[in-house]
């Protein structure tokens, strides 16, 4: 009799603990599901050329961005030292062209655009001949971190654990009833 009572007490405690754990798991936020807020990234890009004007280039030539959905602020500086050597910064994003005015050495221009795609997005100088002489670069936009697929996995694991716990709980209740009936 005493052993049965002890068993009952243990079962009740186990059941209570499992219910508590279940409610905790249900209340767990899907930790990776939240999308980060749109980022705002700023870059200073310098347009330059060799002293003789035989080649032109951007510094930096490549800009890597971890994820799309970013507002890009470009500060474009004409760092060329050849008098009168104008440059601009031109980019096509999803079929829309953005470009600074052509500016003289020492001048600065600003450009803002939104990147919502992954892949390589080239930028160049639209002054005739400059792109061919090397004045081009690119944004490399990747995808990192947990997307919706990852958060779904977490949800699935939680779901299986909850089902397992509820199943054990039901078994414990049935067992409890059997034991009490046996006691009569």
Q: Name the residue number minimizing CB distance to Cu ion.
A: 125
Quote the CA–CA distance of 80 and 4 in Å, as a whole number. 90
DSSP-based three-state secondary structure for 24 = helix
Q: In a 10 Å sphere around its CB, with 0-12 CB exposed, 13-18 middle and 19+ buried, how is residue 58 labelled?
A: buried
Instruction: Tell me how far, at minimum, the Cβ of 106 lies from Cu ion, in Å.
Output: 14
Interface size with Cu ion, residues (CB under 5 A): 5
Asked whether position 172 contacts Cu ion by CB under 5 A, the answer is no
Residue of the chain from 125, 137, 138, 169 that contacts Cu ion (CB under 5 A):
125
Residue of the chain from 70, 74, 121, 130 that contacts Cu ion (CB under 5 A):
130
Segment interacting with Cu ion (CB under 5 A) among 7-15, 30-38, 61-69, 119-127:
119-127
Asked whether position 99 contacts Cu ion by CB under 5 A, the answer is no
Mark 88-111 as b/e (b = at least 16 C-beta within 10 Å): bbbbebeeeebbbebbebeeebeb
Quote the CA–CA distance of 155 and 158 in Å, as a whole number. 5
DSSP-based three-state secondary structure for 132 = coil
Asked whether position 48 contacts Cu ion by CB under 5 A, the answer is no
Q: Which is nearer to Cu ion, 87 or 123 (CB)?
A: 87
Q: Which residues pair with 70 in a beta bridge?
A: 39, 115
Q: In a 10 Å sphere around its CB, with 0-12 CB exposed, 13-18 middle and 19+ buried, how is residue 168 labelled?
A: middle
Residue of the chain from 87, 90, 115, 139 that contacts Cu ion (CB under 5 A):
87
Q: Which is nearer to Cu ion, 14 or 75 (CB)?
A: 75
Segment interacting with Cu ion (CB under 5 A) among 6-14, 113-121, 124-132, 161-169:
124-132
* Footprint of Cu ion (CB under 5 A): 87, 125, 127, 130, 135
């Amino acid at each position: 009799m005493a052993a049965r009572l002890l068993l009952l007490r243990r079962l009740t405690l186990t059941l209570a603990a499992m219910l508590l754990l279940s409610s905790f798991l249900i209340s767990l936020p899907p930790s990776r599901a939240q999308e980060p807020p749109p980022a705002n990234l700023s870059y200073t890009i310098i347009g330059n050329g060799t002293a003789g004007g035989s080649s032109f280039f951007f510094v930096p030539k490549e800009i890597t961005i971890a994820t799309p959905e970013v507002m890009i602020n470009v500060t474009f500086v004409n760092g060329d030292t050849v008098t009168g050597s104008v440059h601009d910064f031109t980019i096509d994003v999803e079929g829309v062209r953005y470009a600074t005015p052509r500016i003289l050495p020492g001048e600065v221009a600003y450009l803002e655009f939104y990147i919502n795609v992954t892949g390589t997005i080239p930028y160049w100088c639209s002054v005739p001949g400059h792109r061919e002489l090397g004045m081009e670069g690119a944004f490399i936009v990747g995808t990192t971190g947990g997307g919706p697929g990852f958060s779904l996995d977490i949800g699935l694991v939680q779901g299986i654990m909850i089902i397992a716990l509820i199943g054990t709980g039901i078994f414990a209740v049935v067992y409890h009833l059997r034991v009490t009936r046996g006691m009569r």
